[in-house]
Amino acid sequence: MSLTREQRDRLVAAARAVRENAYAPASKFLVGASLLTSDDRVFVGCNVENASYGLTICAERAAICAAIAQGARKVLAVAVATDLDEPARPCGACRQVLAEFGADMQVLLVGRGAEVVVMTLAQLLPEPFTFGGAGTNNGDGVGQ
């Protein structure tokens, strides 16, 4: 699936905007994420740190939770925005969670500059765990 210029710009702008709401008192590393679902809705999330570090929620997983809570099940693309010079990649846990809802999704990575790195989730996570096992899923990106 190829994103239109409008979809790409909308996702990048949403990720950059929600990044400003991140709660990162320890790391000061603000991250925003936005998702485009198969029904053309956009959902956002930001990282939320916790004094008990293991309870910290990444922006990508916060956005997935928001989408699922609103009934979305298929994600076509995700944008991840940071304030680094070079765009950052999602962590391994986020890659796995994203794969649950669209193993073939596009991933847009942005830092403080104008560069947008475009990858596929399959490039970032070539063999995700699935409910079907052995890298299988039911054809819509959701392993069951």
Q: Is the pLDDT of residue 143 over 50?
A: no
Domain presence at residue 139? no
The CATH number linked to 35 is: 3.40.140.10
Give the per-residue pLDDT at 133.
63
- In whole angstroms, what separates CA 122 from the centre of its chain? 13
Strand, coil or helix: what is 132? coil
Cα angle, residue 106 at apex, residues 83 and 140 outer, rounded to 5°: 140
How many CB atoms are located within 10 Å of the residue 62 CB?
22
The whole-model pTM stands at 0.90
Positions marked catalytic: 60
- The structural domain count of the chain equals 1
Domain presence at residue 51? yes
Domain presence at residue 25? yes
Alpha-carbon distance 9 to 139, whole Å? 28
Domain presence at residue 136? no
Domain presence at residue 15? yes
The residue segments making up the domain with residue 35 are 5-124
- pLDDT tens across 83-97, in order? 999 999 999 999 999
Alpha-carbon distance 144 to 132, whole Å? 5
Transcribe 14-69 into DSSP letters. HHHHHHTT-B-TTT----EEEEEETTS-EEEEE-B--SSGGG-B-HHHHHHHHHHH
- pLDDT tens across 97-129, in order? 999 999 999 999 999 999 999 999 999 999 999
Contact yes or no for 101/73 (Cβ under 8 A) = yes
- pLDDT tens across 28-68, in order? 999 999 999 999 999 999 999 999 999 999 999 999 999 99
